[in-house]
Amino acid sequence: MIKFYGTKSEFGFLSNFFHAPIQIDDVTAPTTEHFFQAMKTLVAEERLEILAASTPRQAKLLGSKCQLRADWEDVAGTTALQALFRDHHGELVTLVKDHLMFVALVAKFKQHEDLYHKLLLTGEDELVEASPTDYYWGAGQDGSGLNKLGRMLTLIRKVSRDRHEKSHI
């Protein structure tokens, strides 16, 4: 098991606060945290302010105060699509916010080959965001959280590895 939290440790590159700019459609963000927080709102001025935040922590603060889009907690995608995003803990990507996080993470590792290789080097270990306060994206203080961030990273690693192996058959 690999636990990560913050950006300064050996596995800090897994954090959404890690500086790795991403480009998705017409949106450029300095971190996946900036992107995710900016996607919380459909108000252009708020979105731009979040994307321009000086740190991921500031982006998160602005994201907590913005006008939340109406569909943020809605179920997204079809049942068949959701089945593709299931792991041994259950459904992983179900809500609009889950899909947006997954898109940001895929972009991060697709657009930064060095980080992609570091992700692959984590082997088969379970990835756990060890946030003591986040029980949705992280494992929480007692480990009972959903750990959606760690699980998404694990899924991205598995799918990438599977595709790589199939292309070399």
**pLDDT value, residue 165:** 56
**pLDDT value, residue 108:** 98
Q: Which helix (H) or strand (E) holds 90?
A: strand 90-91
Domain 2-167 = CATH 3.40.30.10: no
**pLDDT value, residue 169:** 43
Q: Report the alpha-carbon angle 150-156-162, nearest 5.
A: 135
**pLDDT value, residue 71:** 97
- Cross-strand bridge partners of residue 91: 86
Q: Report the alpha-carbon angle 79-82-85, nearest 5.
A: 160
Report if pTM > 0.75: yes
**pLDDT value, residue 45:** 98
Q: Which residue ranges of the chain lie beneath pLDDT 50?
A: 168-169
Q: Which string of DSSP letters, residue by residue, matches 44-69?
A: HHHHHHHHT-SSHHHHHHHHHHS---
What is the maximum span of the chain, computed from C-alpha positions, in angstroms?
A: 50
How far is 7 from 15, CA to CA, in rounded Å? 6
Q: Are 57 and 79 in contact (CB under 8 A)?
A: no
Domain chopping of the chain, boundaries: 2-167
**pLDDT value, residue 28:** 98
**pLDDT value, residue 168:** 46
Residue 1 has, within 13 A of its CA and on its CB side, a CA count of 9
